[in-house]
Structure 1
Amino acid sequence: MTNASEDFKFTLKVMIDEKKKKVLFAESDCQFVDILLSFLTLPMGRIVKVLNDHFGQKAPAIGSLTNLYHSLACADNADFVSNDAKNLLLNPRSPFEVECGMLKLSLTDFQPTKYFHCGPCSFGTHSVSIYYDQADCLIHTVYGRTTTTTDEPKKVAKAAFEGVFAADRASFIISDDLRIFPSAMGIFQIASVLGIANMDKAESIDVNIGLKEILTLLKLCFISATPLADLVLNKTSLALAPEPKTLVNHTEFQEKLGSKKMVLKMVVQKSKCKLLYALAEDDFVEFLFSLLIIPLGGVGHLLAGKTCIKGIDILQRSVADLADKYFKSPSMKNRLMKPSLVHGSVFENYILPLDQQCMTRDELRKFKFSSLKFPKGQGRYLARPIAYMVMDDLTMNPLCIHSTISFLREKNIPMSDVEEVEVQVGLKEALCILKAALTSTSVLTDALLNSVLIKKREIKTGFKELIGTGFVYTEASLTSTSHLSDSLLTQNSNKRVKQEV
């Protein structure tokens, strides 16, 4: 965040009901709406970082993504293909960096793009990578020592009436829960939509908005049902209970043909049907880390606007409901609704259906880009196959047998009360994990284990109905349906023998 952004302030006109201490709505030009829309362009990892940097220990936890970010920060650099691979995840870039650089108030502190190019050689054009500290070369069979240059994004000064995401000179009405309406709707229709019976007691006040207020508003989007009202009236919000969690039962996205499923071993305490931890291989860990690079608008797109975070869902719905003419261009609306991931940040076998950003003509004309997005790692973040111990709240550490034994001993859980449940994670399960990670601190239970336990109960109920009442059977194992089949065949065989006798 630049000093210019820190010093800049503008005035927001707000209508309040002084008697009820309630914000009715705010009236704004494109400046304030641009900033609201910029929230959707921020990657989840960047949001966690910005809130932690500004609010410190008072920063709200965003579900389990905050724990995931801290686990990433504490991970050994040697586990990654390069330091820049880890930095890419800790400081994820936005596909809207150019646009965010034009905002009068920007939450982004993106650094100028670094270009890593190969050493001097006889080939006319340098081979360049913008993601990692090495680049492959058409001449050299091995990587030469790299040098770096920086390319400062050009910031275009915008007049007050010029929009970045919103159309120039457009004016808007913003409700206390961040619904956005064009002023052209008229006061009577807007009052009807917002449920305002009368405005006899309404009073107009001017509110100065600077960087501090915008950061507070971003925080309130995750913890308040009425973020604008809480900001204007300086309320101290208690953490908002998320909307009831529902799994992703239906998705419009189709899994890629032949896509490989990830395997997760969930270690469960049998007596309590409680998840203790999960054993994850590197592909699942890379998937979890990749959640941090998804822009907030991309999360809304993947979950069909049902993130269970009210403020974010309403903001996303406002973008969908506004006509194209209120945006800088129709393509801008589409980009906000379905943002791409920054070019080169997606690892091999990425499971979520988000596109990668295309390189600009200027970039393609200026450089020959390295074909290796992930040097040494064949499209990976992690340098080597490594198993992790993942907790329900997405806290994770490299797997150590000694630490797992100590964990069970501390919990006073005997080995006989523990079993492994093997779960395959495809697109549907990945979306469930993303949704749970936004609001829950029991992600793996909510997204995966509960459905496994429900299926187990359904199988057990069907088993009883099939055999008949009063039948004693051996309980099937969670880990394999073959145990159930074997039990069923054995009991039927025994029953036939008794009948023959």
Structure 2
Amino acid sequence: MALASIKPESIEQVDNVQLRVLVDKERNRVVYAEAGKDFVDVLFSFLTLPLGTIARLVAKDSNIEAVKFGSITSLHQSVSDLDQQYLWNQTCKEMLLRPRNSMEDYCHNLKLNIDDTEPVQYFLCKKLDCRKKSGCLLSIFKDQKCYCGEVMKLQAFRSCFNLEDGFVKENATFIICDDLYVMPNVFGASLQLLQKLGVDSVDAIEEQTVVINKKEVVDLLKLSLISKAPLTEFIFKNQSVGNYSNLRNNIEYLIRETPSDEDRQMSVKVTLRKSNEKILFVEADDDFIDFVFSLLTFPLGGVLQMLQGLSSLSCIDNLYKSLCDLSPDIYFTSHELKHKLTNPPIAAQYELSNQILPIVGASIPMNYCHRYYDYKNQRLVTELTKEMVYFNYNRLCDETFARLKLVDPKSSTSKSSFAKGPSMYMVTDDLFVSPMSSISTMAFLKKSKVPLSDLEERVVKIGVKEGLNILKASLISTSALTNGLNQFTRTVKDIQVSTSALSAPQDAVRSEFNFEALGIDNTQSLVVQLPEASSCTQDSQLPRAPLMEELPPPPNIQEPHMNIAKKENENTASSVPALRRSARKRKGGGQA
């Protein structure tokens, strides 16, 4: 039984965390682990990581080989390969490849913080005149330009800035199940867990102390994405890593009912194989590409919140559910912190003006550029503050506040976006984005060994529901478009009308319905608009049967049911007088 990193002497104490683990010796599995703040903070920090950061971290070799994170891995790679001319600037590319964590202030002091993304920095123009004016420009990205045309290189710092200390309270301890569900460390919870796992005797279990470093936290992150028992597979190195992504059924790609918003929809052209309904690629403009790119910036916890806790990454779902179940009064430093952790926003200035999904962006709390002279240290200070609070009350002329205005790093236009338009792009089933090219498309079809006769184009509208389906499928599948849009492409197919019947000559259609023989020469018609996928380019008119009861029948046509009714009425009318005479005779005979 090989255990992971049992008390290695080479690792410094500051870079590792101890974990007490109960192991089922007979089954070689973890029953549960007991941990304090340091390890639980690390687990909860997974939920703050943007999807692009996760894809970048798990793509590296650690103690475990690189892991594919659904379709997010190929999306991240496509951004890396994309020529900068298709993005507004180099900053856009850096933002997508290394998206920032909106809760970096809480993660910065973690013992095992695996997010190596560069923290936020603040830049101002070096020119004093620019910094004194109201509307002074502030950038949180390098190499942005001021009004005056100069690159903003003067680094400023926040005043009264304190880093947070993780998420849970200092002395709190927890039980972590093999599937990453976190529970309060009480005996009743551990007893129920032992009984649930079928452990009848304490002799069947033993305690191990495991030391974990940053590299092994990356291992655990990888396993949490692909395994249903990440602690067992992490602890027992001799166990093979199981990837369950290929064993999923269609139910796992479904999302809960979501209200649609027709005002926030975009159309894409889908090319798929008719034989198996597999989407090969999507042809779309920059609006859809912005949506796909933005997936890299979503924090994992924000994704779980949009998917109502059901991402089909079972261990991540368990971790998120346990977070929601824990009491904020007992275990978290504040109610506000728990709320942020269950619904982390995307980092400031990463939001899109045309985002179709319900996720918000963080704000920059800095409102003023504060300049004053520090007489004690004999220097001029420039810092960023939330409020106007004067320090040098007797020397107000030496102290100024200028209201700040943020520079949008993505685009200088009113449309804040990553992808530059107007351009058309191709997005493959695994979300690999590339510029649209007919020749490149043919090469892709050749590589995929798809006959042209098996291709079909359909137009699909992408709104909130479709976007959430793509998002969920991108987490657990390398066929994000097929699994995300399957139900919507099928719906389009079901309502398509056969173009062979609609394109038939008008005379051929009329020959089946000989209305003229019925004395009707004003045949009504129905105009049918063919779907865009149809090869027919004109509207077709189909004869529609007229309402017969509104038209008098021709004189030479007698309807059978009318003749029968007329004859029955005549017979009834002729028999009534005879019946009356017979009745009078019987009555007269009775009187006699």
Q: TM-score normalised by the shorter chain: which range applies?
A: 0.7 to 0.9
Are 1:299 and 2:303 matched, yes or no? yes
Preserved contact between residue 16 and residue 25 of structure 1 (Cα < 8 Å): yes
Preserved contact between residue 95 and residue 341 of structure 1 (Cα < 8 Å): yes
Which residue of 305, 308, 314 corresponds with 1:310? Answer: 314
Preserved contact between residue 268 and residue 420 of structure 1 (Cα < 8 Å): yes
Partner residue in 2 for 1:181 = 183
Alpha-carbon distance in structure 1 between the residues aligned to 2:430 and 2:173: 42
Alpha-carbon distance in structure 2 between the residues aligned to 1:120 and 1:188: 67
1:184 Cα offset (Å)? 2.9
Larger RCO: 1 or 2 (CA < 8 Å, sep 6+): 1
Alpha-carbon distance in structure 1 between the residues aligned to 2:198 and 2:159: 45
Partner residue in 2 for 1:43 = 50
Alpha-carbon distance in structure 1 between the residues aligned to 2:12 and 2:467: 37
Cα separation, partners in 2 of 1:10 and 1:427, compared to 1, 3 Å = same
Letter in 1 for 2:427: V
Which residue of 332, 335, 354 corresponds with 1:349? Answer: 354
Alpha-carbon distance in structure 1 between the residues aligned to 2:320 and 2:144: 38
Matched length: 473
Partner residue in 2 for 1:204 = 207
1:152 Cα offset (Å)? 9.6
Alpha-carbon distance in structure 1 between the residues aligned to 2:11 and 2:416: 39
1:228 Cα offset (Å)? 0.9
Cα separation, partners in 2 of 1:193 and 1:433, compared to 1, 3 Å = same
Cα separation, partners in 2 of 1:80 and 1:58, compared to 1, 3 Å = same
Preserved contact between residue 77 and residue 86 of structure 1 (Cα < 8 Å): yes
| Offset from partner CA, 1:284-318 (integer Å, 9 cap, x none) | 11111100111111111111111111111111111
Preserved contact between residue 58 and residue 69 of structure 2 (Cα < 8 Å): no
Are 1:232 and 2:235 matched, yes or no? yes
Preserved contact between residue 167 and residue 329 of structure 1 (Cα < 8 Å): no
Alpha-carbon distance in structure 2 between the residues aligned to 1:106 and 1:50: 12
Partner residue in 1 for 2:427 = 390
Partner residue in 2 for 1:262 = 266
Letter in 1 for 2:442: I
Letter in 1 for 2:318: I
Preserved contact between residue 129 and residue 370 of structure 1 (Cα < 8 Å): yes
Alpha-carbon distance in structure 1 between the residues aligned to 2:203 and 2:220: 28
Alpha-carbon distance in structure 2 between the residues aligned to 1:478 and 1:273: 18
Are 1:420 and 2:427 matched, yes or no? no
1:219 Cα offset (Å)? 0.7
Preserved contact between residue 9 and residue 209 of structure 1 (Cα < 8 Å): yes
Preserved contact between residue 6 and residue 211 of structure 1 (Cα < 8 Å): no
Partner residue in 1 for 2:26 = 19
After superposing the two structures, state which structure 1 stretch, 61-70 or 21-30, moved more: 21-30
Preserved contact between residue 113 and residue 130 of structure 1 (Cα < 8 Å): yes
Matches within 5 A, 1:246-285: 246=251, 247-252=253-258, 254-255=259-260, 259-285=263-289
Are 1:169 and 2:175 matched, yes or no? no
Cα separation, partners in 2 of 1:320 and 1:454, compared to 1, 3 Å = same
Which residue of 111, 114, 128 corresponds with 2:138? Answer: 128
1:185 Cα offset (Å)? 5.2
Alpha-carbon distance in structure 2 between the residues aligned to 1:396 and 1:119: 39
| Offset from partner CA, 1:75-100 (integer Å, 9 cap, x none) | 11122212111101110001111111
Cα separation, partners in 2 of 1:255 and 1:135, compared to 1, 3 Å = farther
Alpha-carbon distance in structure 2 between the residues aligned to 1:56 and 1:206: 19
Letter in 1 for 2:424: A
Partner residue in 2 for 1:104 = 111
Which residue of 431, 436, 454 corresponds with 1:399? Answer: 436
Preserved contact between residue 84 and residue 131 of structure 1 (Cα < 8 Å): yes
Partner residue in 1 for 2:153 = 147
Partner residue in 2 for 1:368 = 404
Preserved contact between residue 46 and residue 221 of structure 2 (Cα < 8 Å): yes
1:327 Cα offset (Å)? 1.3
TM-score (norm 2): 0.72
Secondary structure of the structure 1 residue equivalent to 2:467: helix
**Structure label with greater radius of gyration:** 2
1:133 Cα offset (Å)? 3.0
Are 1:216 and 2:219 matched, yes or no? yes
Please list every run of 5 or more consecutive structure 2 residues that lacks an aligned counterpart in the other structure.
1-9, 367-383, 388-400, 502-511, 513-528, 549-553, 558-592
CA RMSD of aligned residues (A): 3.6
Alpha-carbon distance in structure 1 between the residues aligned to 2:67 and 2:468: 23
| Offset from partner CA, 1:161-180 (integer Å, 9 cap, x none) | xx621122001111111111
Secondary structure of the structure 2 residue equivalent to 1:63: coil
Which residue of 76, 80, 97 corresponds with 1:90? Answer: 97
Preserved contact between residue 422 and residue 479 of structure 1 (Cα < 8 Å): yes
Preserved contact between residue 248 and residue 428 of structure 1 (Cα < 8 Å): no
Alpha-carbon distance in structure 1 between the residues aligned to 2:268 and 2:302: 25
Preserved contact between residue 300 and residue 316 of structure 1 (Cα < 8 Å): yes
Alpha-carbon distance in structure 2 between the residues aligned to 1:188 and 1:276: 51
1:121 Cα offset (Å)? 5.3
Partner residue in 1 for 2:519 = none
Identity of matched residues, %: 31
Preserved contact between residue 98 and residue 153 of structure 1 (Cα < 8 Å): no
Preserved contact between residue 286 and residue 420 of structure 2 (Cα < 8 Å): no
TM-score (norm 1): 0.84
After superposing the two structures, state which structure 1 stretch, 267-276 or 394-403, moved more: 267-276
Cα separation, partners in 2 of 1:267 and 1:203, compared to 1, 3 Å = same
Alpha-carbon distance in structure 2 between the residues aligned to 1:415 and 1:49: 36
After superposing the two structures, state which structure 1 stretch, 441-450 or 182-191, moved more: 182-191
Alpha-carbon distance in structure 2 between the residues aligned to 1:110 and 1:412: 40
Cα separation, partners in 2 of 1:335 and 1:251, compared to 1, 3 Å = farther
Are 1:28 and 2:80 matched, yes or no? no
1:268 Cα offset (Å)? 2.7
